[in-house]
Amino acid sequence: MADPFGLFLGFVALLAVAFLAVYAYYESAGAPAPVRTRHGLTPGRSAVAVAVGVGLAVLVVAVGGRVSFEAVLASRRYALRVGLWVVVVVGACEAVAGGYGFARRWLRCRPDRVDATGRVEAGTTAVSGTVTDDYAAAAPVTGRTAVCWSWSVSVTGPGLRRYDEDDPHRTVDGGTGGCPFVLDDGTGPLCVDPTDATLAVDGERSVVRRPDSAPPDGFVDPAPSVEADYADRPREYTEAVLRPGETATVWGAVVSDDDGPVLRGPRTTIVAGSPAGVARRYRRRAAGYALAGIAGGAVGVLGLLWSVGGL
């Protein structure tokens, strides 16, 4: 017959894993778009990584450890040491999930999988070409002529994380934007709509707004709530853009419109660069994140076993 106390602890552990996974999902979903996608993660992948990491840590402690609850309650240092290794294990799982995300991007943009812009049909595709100057708009931070952009804003000042910190720096908002543009590899034009797309573009520039300073030329206030809430603190806006004349690789779903095929939707990804360069970049990131995650996971599990007396 199963131990009732053990079953109770197992039930509490499952609830903790579920709670942390849901928390990770909504934290990731609520993060600024450029920050959320920078490491190959999505809200779903982040939630799964947290659940696997915490579940693995609980399993290691339950199977391989000899936990003394008296020691846990009596020693804050003991609890912090165990908690530190749990964080390492969870971080390692996040790295592996990021590697998986980059591997998926690499598979989608390999040069042998890229179609001609003038011959795409409805369905999932990957294309590459030059951004024409048929359509463009002004980027909201620097005012540069661009077809799509991503931006984030961070705030400097005391009390952002802890009131005893002198000069913390925290990203508080961010987003993406753009206008429908035309991509052409010489075989014909293809319209791309960047709305809701994942962007990885270049040309990064920063604009710092000081308290009570006038906005710089071209600045159209993309985050009015930040300007209202943090007007007494320095705000640093960072913006990256894709401009006419640059090469881009795009993949996602093509749908038929009145004016012809359009590549658009939330699964669209727009990356600056040629397919060969983009694929090489994501292949390296996938390998690096996966190796770092595996190594970090091994260290975390060994550290956890050592902390709970399993070694």
CA distance 245 to 252: 21
pLDDT at 70: 57
Q: Which residues pair with 123 in a beta bridge?
A: 254
Could you report the per-residue pLDDT of 137-162, keeping only the tens digit for each? 999 999 999 999 999 999 876 655 55
Lowest mean pLDDT among 9-18, 127-136, 181-190, 285-294: 9-18
Q: Where are the alpha helices (DSSP H) in the chain?
A: 4-30, 33-36, 43-64, 69-74, 76-108, 224-229, 275-307
Are 242 and 149 in contact, with CB atoms under 8 Å apart?
A: yes
CA distance 99 to 25: 18
pLDDT at 72 over 60: no
CA distance 128 to 279: 12
Band the pLDDT of 311: cuts 50, 70, 90. Answer: low
pLDDT at 232 over 70: yes
- pTM confidence score: 0.84
pLDDT at 89: 95
pLDDT at 138: 95
pLDDT at 246 over 90: yes
Which of 165 and 274 is assigned the larger pLDDT? 274
Stretch 122-143: mean pLDDT:
94
Band the pLDDT of 1: cuts 50, 70, 90. Answer: very low
Stretch 208-237: mean pLDDT:
88
How far is CA 137 from its chain centroid?
25
Q: Which amino acid is at 31?
A: A
Band the pLDDT of 65: cuts 50, 70, 90. Answer: low
pLDDT at 168: 67
Which of 192 and 169 is assigned the larger pLDDT? 192
Stretch 61-85: mean pLDDT:
70
pLDDT at 34: 76
pLDDT at 10: 66
Stretch 180-207: mean pLDDT:
93
pLDDT at 5 over 60: no
pLDDT at 121: 86
pLDDT at 163: 44
Average pLDDT, the chain: 86
Are 242 and 147 in contact, with CB atoms under 8 Å apart?
A: yes
Stretch 77-85: mean pLDDT:
81
pLDDT at 37: 79
What is the residue whose two structure tokens read 């936990």?
67
Lowest mean pLDDT among 36-40, 68-72, 178-182: 68-72
pLDDT at 268 over 50: yes
